[in-house]
Amino acid sequence: MRAAVIALLGASLVLGLGVVRGAPEDDQRAFQDFYKQRFPDTPFEDFANGLYSIDKSRREEWEQMEEFPPYEFDIDAGEELFHEPFANGKSYADCFPDYESGVRQNYPHWDPERGEVVTMEWAINLCRERHGEKPLKYYRGPLAQISAYLAYLSRGHVIDVKVPDDDSGALAAYEEGKKHYYARRGQLNFACASCHVDAVGRLLRAELIGPAVGQVSHFPVFRKTWREITTLHRSYAACSRQLRAASFGPQSREYRNLEYFHSYMSNGIPLNGPGSRH
């Protein structure tokens, strides 16, 4: 099964021969079936808990940490920031009118008018710019807190990312994200899939590698090692540095398309962000 999923999803990586496109729904089915068979005792929805869905001892430590979640203050700060009016009297609520019932599940999505993928964090800054405000920094701080507040209001909603099969731009963005996930890079010559598909459930040094499916469901994340709430794209950049590879900028086209593919692979997983991780 591991060979099958890598062969299917790695079909776009045939160097020098152009991109071979597979149907996204076939990719998703193979991807999710791999984890279901690799961890048959884990209910599919529980992959929302990442590494803690496959390791009992680490789950117990995490559950103790969640009794007094370290991101609580960030949710409160995000709520205050969300309702703080802009200079023109408007607020984020004018950009996200359905925020109380949850909007995080709508991101990332393909925007046919812009011709690119729009993520939650980018949408927050697009809202600010639309109302004459300066954009916020992407990795941490107020933007991560606002995103955490919106994630909290969206808990329980199921990831349901769409890749329109009649839009060549959306398919191209998906394929670019897929290629990024399976492309080896850096001095260590590793891909995202080298760890989270091929080595999932194994120890790399002292690190137990968690599954890719459901990984996006709990962001933004408070990491004990960073001592702050942080965004998915910061984690992408950190992984690139660990591979001794050049990273892309936050909310770059490359990372937005990677998030598009990454999230589509987790369709059907409930959102449970913000989360806490070691």
Q: Which of 47, 258, 28 is nearest to 160 (CA)?
A: 28
pLDDT (average), residues 166-181: 96
pLDDT digits (tens, 9 = 90+) for 181-203: 999 988 888 899 999 999 898 88
The helix, strand and coil proportions of the chain, stated in percent and rounded to the nearest 5, come to: 50, 10, 40
pLDDT in tens, 58-96: 998 888 888 999 999 999 999 999 999 999 999 999 999
Categorize the per-residue pLDDT at 15 as very low, low, confident or very high, splitting at 50, 70 and 90: very low
H or E element in which residue 30 lies: helix 24-38
Q: Given this model, what pLDDT does residue 12 score?
A: 37
DSSP-assigned beta bridge partners for residue 109: 118
Tokens of 147: 């995103």
Torsion of CA 195, 197, 200, 205, to 10 degrees: -10
Instruction: Kindly state the greatest CA–CA separation across the chain.
Output: 56
d(CA 253, CA 172): 12
- The overall average pLDDT reported for the chain is 90
**Bridge partners of residue 222, in order along the sequence:** 229, 276
Q: Is residue 165 over pLDDT 70?
A: yes
Domains of the chain with CATH codes: 2-67+164-269 (1.10.760.10), 72-153 (1.10.760.10)
Distance (Å, rounded) from C-alpha 219 to C-alpha 231?
6
β-sheet bridge partners, residue 204: 207
Q: Tell me if residue 239 is catalytic.
A: yes
> Has residue 250 got a pLDDT over 90?
yes
The values of phi and psi at residue 158, to 5°, are: -95, 135
Residue among 61, 78, 64, 185 at smallest CA distance from 121? 78
Using an 8 Å Cβ cutoff, are 52 and 62 in contact?
A: yes
Rounded CA separation 132/129 (Å): 5
Query: Does 10 have pLDDT greater than 50?
Result: no
pLDDT the model gives residue 143: 97
For 205-218, the pLDDT digits (tens) are 777 899 999 999 99
Check 127, 192, 195, 239 and give the catalytic one: 239
